[in-house]
Amino acid sequence: MRSLAVLTLLVLAATPAKAQETEALLWLSADADVALGSATELGLESEFRFDDAGLDESILGFMLSHEVGGVSLGAGYQHSRSVGGPAIREHRLRQQVAFPITRVAGGTLRGQLRLEERFRNDGDDVHFRLRPQIAYSLPLNRDGTRLSIAHESFIGTAADWNRQRGLFRMRNSIAVAAPLVGRMRGSVGYLNQYGFGRDGARDRMAHVVTAGIAFGF
């Protein structure tokens, strides 16, 4: 358990101590995993993000993945629609590779590298975004309850519709997932998102409560 405590502290320490602007958010998700064979899976996902004014953004997408020798290769699509403010529509093509790193304190440390190509209706450029992630998963009991801790960085190219270039964001999260009924699972957690300001803009920090359900088929 000492190793787990060290990992948790390292993830939390990766967040700057003070942001110039902060906000509180709620992200709710509903996902489904459909087995298409012994090594191929289709993941369906939906997420609804709320701020203090109500529903701010909805996201729908899918990821088709195939595992080879413990390494998962995936490709998919995601559509984002803003609700508050201007009507922004975003289309994302996504490719990723996920792989095991090592066993630590009874849990598993994994890495993931995701590349996204982002298209929006308020600009002409394609924004390329790289999202390296490291995640730790620890079983808490025999019924399938697990603790997850993760750190993710966001690195992007310049685009005419945003200021997100270079290392512009990072997320640190902790969550607990547990089986509910049948093949349904539920999760609840906390995510800290820190955005680095560009071109004179102030840094921003978001404190996010996350909750979701997932189905397996």
Interval 108-117: pLDDT, tens: 999 999 999 9
CATH architecture of 2-216: Beta Barrel (2.40)
> Which residue did the predictor score with more confidence, 213 or 198?
213
Decide: residue 105, CB within 10 A, 0-12 exposed, 13-18 middle, 19+ buried: middle
Q: Where are the domains of the chain?
A: 2-216
Please name which of 148, 130, 128 lies closest in space to residue 138, comparing C-alpha atoms.
148
Straight-line distance from the first to the last Cα atom of the chain, in angstroms, rounded to the nearest whole number: 33
Please give the pLDDT value at position 15.
58
Give the mean pLDDT of 189-202: 88
Half-sphere exposure of 113 (CA within 13 A, CB side): 4
pLDDT digits (tens, 9 = 90+) for 22-69: 999 999 999 999 999 999 999 999 999 999 989 999 999 999 999 999
Least confident range from 30-34, 121-125, 177-181: namely: 121-125
| pLDDT at residue 154 is higher than 60 | yes
